[in-house]
Amino acid sequence: MAPKQTRTEGQSSAKKAENTQQWLTSREAQKLSYGVVKNAGVPQDYEQMQTQVQLSSGNKLDYDDSMPIVTTLPNLGLGATLEKFPDGWTECLISGYLKKKIVNTPGFPAAIPRPPIARHRIAESPGKGLGMFAACNIKPGELVLAERPLIIAPRAIFGVRVAGRVPRHYTDEQYRQVTMFERERNLNLVTGRMAPERLEPLMSLANCHLQDGSGPILGIIRTNGFQAEEIRDKANTSESYYSVVCNELSRMNHSCSPNVARHWDTASFSMQIFAVRAIKEGEEITTEYCDLLAPAAQRQAELAPYGISQCVCPSCSNPAVSDPLRARIRVISRKMDDAGGWMNLDFPEKPDVKPLLGDLITIAKEGLEELDEYGYILWELFKTYATLQDSKNMLAYRQKHKAWKAAIYPDDAPEYEAGIDDLLKLMKFGNLSLNKMMKGKGKAA
Ligand SMILES: [Zn+2]
């Protein structure tokens, strides 16, 4: 892996000083290096700063929104063991705002949902270290695993946090090294509180940042962290997110055609995965670390910081076939947005299932059932068959859409789907009401 370019060669010292100044006053997150960084580590003349992080005890909540704190969630008291609390707990480096938001979530801390039998196992994945595999056949929409994270820490690292302590002659890379060093010190405060039974699995996770100056904990977080929609700061920018690291879920390998969707549930404080298509016993369970609709070359660039130098999934192995298919799915995205989303109630005036079935095949060929575009096509097929008074196919696609939605939007209450069904029953096509068709009566039934 080539080291990432960090500075422009031959830059004038005036320009360099200007850049440095910008960096010192900037609230922008540092883009961290990866791969092999020459002379990684902090410069010898660097004086470490006083930490601003507060250790938070128990249920204390009266912090400033931006105050960084180290806290255990849920707070189970000293001496908690997995034997006593099998759902576990999470050591967090989060803002005062986020702690308040989590603790005030209705139901927090709820019990973690569990599938009726274990549906996953961790085993060797050839060429990829450990991976997660299906322990049984899994149906679309089914919960595979829910897990409380080991650790949560900010994704972005802001230069401003170390401003003032850093000599002006440092290169951009040296600033980055200092920033990472300070983050590692803060992370040490977090892991210093961890029970051995939580720390040991964390430290045994993969680390592909051994030569870029990341400390051991930061390296593991950078390699294994997931982003979760609800775990973010008030600012709500791409830099407000956190890295969520789990024991078993972080073992999942990447695929550009993932067979599960990740979901975060704040009430049970757990990361959850649901099958987006049928998974056979023994099949590897995979998730995505990159933008799935990007062309293969761009996906490759996004995967490099995770130590994946060449993705071997079928789509990356054959971009000449895959790239045009993914480009077609981007066209479906635009159609979906124009139509008002993946569950709109406009029934087609000129019903035609042919182009929709073509779109469905395209998405399934690329293994992208996780995308909203897939749910949109299932829903359009349901409406189109309803308009054609073909109750058999109409019901089949209604069911498929429900299973898809259970996997992607598990938070929606069952009453919501029932409400949609009630609404649909009031609709009429020719002399047939949707109510009758939904009971299996229609032209093609
Ligand atoms: Zn791939």
- The pLDDT tens digits for 249-294 are 999 999 999 999 999 999 999 999 999 999 999 999 999 989 999 9
Q: What percent of the chain has pLDDT over 90?
A: 54
pLDDT of 7 reads 23
Most confident of 171-180, 236-245, 382-391: 382-391
Distance 76 CA to ligand 1 centre (A): 41
The answer to whether position 307 is within a domain reads no
Which has the closest alpha carbon to 223: 34, 36, 28? 34
Are residues 328 and 404 both part of a single domain? yes
The answer to whether position 274 is within a domain reads no
Are residues 334 and 241 both part of a single domain? no
Determine the Cα–Cα distance for residues 28 and 124; give it in Å rounded to an integer: 39
Distance 315 CA to ligand 1 centre (A): 6
Q: Which residues pair with 97 in a beta bridge?
A: none
Element (H, E) at 196: helix 196-203
pLDDT of 6 reads 24
Distance 143 CA to ligand 1 centre (A): 24
pLDDT of 368 reads 97
Distance 145 CA to ligand 1 centre (A): 23
Determine the Cα–Cα distance for residues 362 and 82; give it in Å rounded to an integer: 45
Distance 251 CA to ligand 1 centre (A): 17
pLDDT of 28 reads 54
Distance 291 CA to ligand 1 centre (A): 11
Distance 303 CA to ligand 1 centre (A): 9
Domain residue limits at 49 = 13-112+148-251
pLDDT of 163 reads 54
Distance 160 CA to ligand 1 centre (A): 36
The one-letter code for the residue type at 78 is: L
Residue 3 DSSP SS3: coil
Distance 178 CA to ligand 1 centre (A): 34
pLDDT of 443 reads 58
Average pLDDT over residues 25-48: 75
Q: How confident is the model at residue 205 (pLDDT cuts 50, 70, 90)?
A: very high
Look at residues 206, 235, 251 and tell me which one is the last residue of a structural domain.
Answer: 251
In the sheet with 242-245, reading across from the earlier edge strand, the strands are 54-55, 68-73, 90-95, 151-154, 242-245
Place of tokens 């989060």: 94
Distance 321 CA to ligand 1 centre (A): 13
Distance 336 CA to ligand 1 centre (A): 25
- pTM for this entry: 0.86
Q: How confident is the model at residue 213 (pLDDT cuts 50, 70, 90)?
A: confident
pLDDT of 158 reads 67
pLDDT of 359 reads 97
Element (H, E) at 92: strand 90-95
Residues with CB under 5 A from ligand 1 (ion): 256, 311, 313, 316
Determine the Cα–Cα distance for residues 247 and 251; give it in Å rounded to an integer: 7
Please tell me which residue, 159 or 116, carries the higher pLDDT value.
Answer: 116
Q: Going by C-beta distance under 8 Å and a sequence separation of 6 or more, which residues neighbour residue 373? A: 329, 332, 333, 336, 342, 359, 363
- The pLDDT tens digits for 184-200 are 998 999 999 999 999 99
Determine the Cα–Cα distance for residues 122 and 168; give it in Å rounded to an integer: 48
- The pLDDT tens digits for 111-153 are 999 999 999 999 999 888 899 999 999 999 999 999 999 999 9
What are the backbone dihedrals phi and psi of residue 144, each rounded to the nearest 5 degrees, phi first? -95, -45
Distance 383 CA to ligand 1 centre (A): 33
Determine the Cα–Cα distance for residues 125 and 434; give it in Å rounded to an integer: 48
Distance 312 CA to ligand 1 centre (A): 6
* pLDDT of 61 above 70: yes
Distance 135 CA to ligand 1 centre (A): 24
- Cβ count near 2 (within 10 Å): 7
Are residues 82 and 157 both part of a single domain? yes
Q: Going by C-beta distance under 8 Å and a sequence separation of 6 or more, which residues neighbour residue 70? A: 53, 54, 55, 56, 91, 92, 93, 186, 189, 190, 193
Determine the Cα–Cα distance for residues 410 and 270; give it in Å rounded to an integer: 13
The rounded mean pLDDT for the chain is 85
Q: How confident is the model at residue 155 (pLDDT cuts 50, 70, 90)?
A: confident
- Are the C-beta atoms of 265 and 411 separated by less than 8 Å? yes
Which has the closest alpha carbon to 286: 426, 438, 130? 130
To 10 degrees, what angle do helices 319-339 and 372-387 make?
60
- Cβ count near 324 (within 10 Å): 11
* pLDDT of 20 above 80: no
Tokens coding 63: 């912090």
Distance 215 CA to ligand 1 centre (A): 28
Distance 359 CA to ligand 1 centre (A): 21
* pLDDT of 245 above 60: yes
Structural domain total, the chain: 2
Place of tokens 């009453």: 415
Are residues 194 and 341 both part of a single domain? no
Please tell me which residue, 346 or 318, carries the higher pLDDT value.
Answer: 318
The answer to whether position 292 is within a domain reads no
The answer to whether position 186 is within a domain reads yes
Which has the closest alpha carbon to 267: 416, 111, 410, 153? 111
DSSP state of 195: -
Look at residues 251, 276, 291 and tell me which one is the last residue of a structural domain.
Answer: 251
Average pLDDT over residues 365-374: 96
To 10 degrees, what angle do helices 172-191 and 13-25 make?
30
The answer to whether position 308 is within a domain reads no
Please tell me which residue, 23 or 190, carries the higher pLDDT value.
Answer: 190
Distance 296 CA to ligand 1 centre (A): 7
- The pLDDT tens digits for 383-426 are 999 899 888 999 999 999 999 998 899 887 778 888 888 878 88
The answer to whether position 141 is within a domain reads no
* pLDDT of 442 above 80: no
Return the ∠ at Cα 362 (arms to 357 and 366), rounded to 5°.
Answer: 145
The answer to whether position 299 is within a domain reads no
Are residues 178 and 90 both part of a single domain? yes
- The pLDDT tens digits for 37-58 are 888 888 888 877 777 777 877 7
Are residues 77 and 169 both part of a single domain? yes
- Cβ count near 193 (within 10 Å): 14
Look at residues 232, 251, 270 and tell me which one is the last residue of a structural domain.
Answer: 251
Distance 231 CA to ligand 1 centre (A): 27
pLDDT of 87 reads 96
CA distances 289 to 12, 115, 300, Å, are 38, 25, 10
Q: Going by C-beta distance under 8 Å and a sequence separation of 6 or more, which residues neighbour residue 135? A: 117, 118, 119, 120, 121, 281
What are the backbone dihedrals phi and psi of residue 262, each rounded to the nearest 5 degrees, phi first? -90, 145
Q: What percent of the chain has pLDDT over 70?
A: 90
pLDDT of 15 reads 36
Residue 88 DSSP SS3: coil
- Are the C-beta atoms of 275 and 132 separated by less than 8 Å? no
